[in-house]
Amino acid sequence: MDAIRFPIGTFLSQDLSPNDRIQLIAELPTIAQSLRQVANSITEAQLESSYRPDGWTIRQIIHHMADNDMNAYIRFKRALTEEAPAASSYREDLWAELADYKSVPVAHAIGLLELVHERLIIVMSRMKESDFERTLTTQALGSVTLGTALKRLVWHNRHHLAQIKSAIH
CATH number reported for the structural domain that contains residue 107 in this entry = 1.20.120.450
Does residue 5 lie in a domain region?
no
For the chain, the first-to-last Cα distance in angstroms comes to 17
Does residue 1 lie in a domain region?
no
What is the distance between the alpha carbons of residues 143 and 85, in angstroms, rounded to a whole number? 9
Q: Report which residue type is found at 38.
A: V
| Domains in the chain, number | 1
How many of the other CB atoms lie within 10 Å of CB of 65? 25
Does residue 130 lie in a domain region?
yes
Does residue 6 lie in a domain region?
no
Mean pLDDT of 122-133: 97
Mean pLDDT of 34-40: 97
With bands split at pLDDT 50, 70 and 90, how would you rate the model's confidence at 16?
confident
Q: Is 143 helix (H, G, I), strand (E, B) or coil?
A: strand
Does residue 7 lie in a domain region?
no
What residues make up the domain containing 148? 16-168
Q: In whole angstroms, how far apart are CA 131 and each of 76, 127, 148?
A: 10, 6, 12
Q: Can you give the pLDDT at residue 7?
A: 76
Q: Can you give the pLDDT at residue 18?
A: 92
Asked whether the predicted pLDDT for residue 11 surpasses 80, the reply is no
Mean pLDDT of 73-85: 98
Q: What is the mean pLDDT of the chain?
A: 94
Mean pLDDT of 88-94: 93
**Alpha helices per DSSP H over the chain:** 2-5, 18-40, 44-47, 58-81, 92-95, 99-103, 106-125, 146-168
With bands split at pLDDT 50, 70 and 90, how would you rate the model's confidence at 44?
very high
With bands split at pLDDT 50, 70 and 90, how would you rate the model's confidence at 159?
very high
Do residues 20 and 14 touch, judged by C-beta distance below 8 A? Answer: no
